[in-house]
Amino acid sequence: MNNSAHPPSVSTGRPLAAAVPTVSSLSPASGAAGTVVTVTGTGFTGATAVRFGATAATSFTVLSDTQLTVTAPAGAGSVQVTVTTLSGTSSQFVIYTYTAASVPVLTSVSPPSGPTAGGTTVTLTGTGLSGATAVRFGATAATSFTVNSSTQITAVTPAGTGTVQVTVTAPGGTSNGIPYSYVTAAVPVLSSVVPVSGPTSGGTTVTLTGSNLAGATAVRFGATAAISFTVVSDTHVTAVAPAGTGTVQVTVIAPGGTSNGISYTYVTVPAVSSVSPTQGPLSGGNSVTLTGTGLAGATAVFFGATAATSFTVLSPTQITAVVPVGAAGPVQVTVVTPGGASVPGATYFYVAAPLLTGASPVSGPVSGGTAVTLSGANLIEATAVRFGAVAAGSFTAVSDTQLTAVAPPSVAGTVQITATTAGGTSNGVSYTYLTAPVLTALSPALGPLSGGNSVTLTGTGLAGATAVMFGSAPAGFTVISDSQLTAQAPPGAAGPVGVTVTTPGGTSLALTYTRVAPPAI
């Protein structure tokens, strides 16, 4: 192994030396020993000492490179405050003046009583409390205490009995005593919290039920105090939930101690992203599916300002609801949960039922295939057209007032045509399926080449005839009855031609009519 040392690295520059700290101001600039002083200046990062004259402070906290806080040590008169770092010691002549510490004075203790086991957090109010070195309940030191300001201290009571005097000792001496009573009180017990959830923004009024709740001094949701609370009785407390997240334990603090916890869940505001189907009839009654987030625990579903007829929560992301009666047009669908009401985001359309006023033509052959024009209103979103119970071969929404539909095959007879939209099914208009006409006889069956003679056609289904043809030539005709019509034979060449009758039901089979040339002389 080669143990030779590596050659020393060569630096191409010198590190910059940190600046010597400076002190520009103190706040406050005077006070008793134990006062917390804010020192402002520069270069405080890495401070190793803060001195009041020649006396080093026992504690200080560097907040930033330009500010620190320090507790003034014991001293007298006016002294220079300096800050020392590895770069040196400040030299500015910034003075702190010691003043005679006033004897602390207590004016109140809240709460004024607590359980003999101790552990109650009490607030001491008064004056001259800065720099407090001890808080005692009788002869026993507080379990712990925190000086909040020169006028307030919070302390945790030690165990004790009877009524004792609470005192504070500070640089100015020991305060007067304020009575604090140790009481033998039952520990509060919670059995229920109603409601068990609310929005993350807080503000929900919650009813706490239990026992030993009289004299409650605090209600907490997790570690956060209720916005407010009211002791209704020894078994009921109402509290306003603070803002929060997740599931927390609600507890009540009373003279007997802190209760067990009951779960309270902070829930987010629900959101509805879609409605399916998106439209339906004015009469309501149809079921729709709402999709979104935070839907669990829904307490109401609204279509506009009207509550759903009923609803079922399927999951945190889905609800089915029965649509209430409404007026034509769009409405916002809203879901309400303990987390609040969903913001607008899903629209449902109430659609007026379609109306039919007429059909043209009103009849056609049993074979179907006739193009029928339907007139009416609210037809533009038609989803079906039916001839009786049979769907049209096809249909087209021409406008909100017109549809065209191809008649399907059917047996002879009259059926009702209906149109269906999301708004429902229309009234019916009549359409008659007709069989093709049948010719059984022509009289006479012969005629001159010049035509113009009257021919009687006998058969069935002749009413409503639209054409009579002699071969390819149309003839004028008159309908006498469903079984008879007369036609004027058109002129033509000698010989036989087929005679047919056409009605909306179709065209008959042909019978023979013969044109005869006049005799030659």
CB-CB contact of 348 with 288 (8 Å): yes
Reduced to 3 states (helix: H, G, I; strand: E, B; else coil), residue 254 is strand
- For strands 279-281 and 218-221, give the pairing: unpaired
DSSP codes joined into one string, 405-416:
EEPPP--SEEEE
Nearest Cα to 490, choosing from 455, 439, 519, 520? Answer: 455
Q: What is the C-alpha to C-alpha distance for residues 80 and 398, in angstroms, rounded to an integer?
A: 96
Give how far Cα 449 sits from Cα of 433, 495, 512, Å: 38, 9, 15
Burial of 301 (0-12, 13-18, 19+ CB in 10 A): buried
Q: DSSP state, 154?
A: E
pLDDT tens track for 176-187: 999 998 888 788
| Pair of tokens at residue 503 | 């009605």
Give how far Cα 71 sits from Cα of 401, 412, 417, Å: 88, 108, 95
pLDDT tens track for 276-327: 999 999 999 999 999 999 898 899 999 999 999 999 999 999 999 999 999 9
pLDDT tens track for 381-412: 899 999 999 999 999 999 999 999 999 999 99
pLDDT tens track for 52-82: 999 999 999 999 999 999 999 989 999 999 9
Nearest Cα to 288, choosing from 314, 312, 318, 322? Answer: 322
At residue 16, the pLDDT reads 55
pTM over 0.95: no
CB-CB contact of 376 with 401 (8 Å): yes
Q: What is the C-alpha to C-alpha distance for residues 229 and 231, in angstroms, rounded to an integer?
A: 7
Neighbour tally for 378: CB within 10 Å: 20
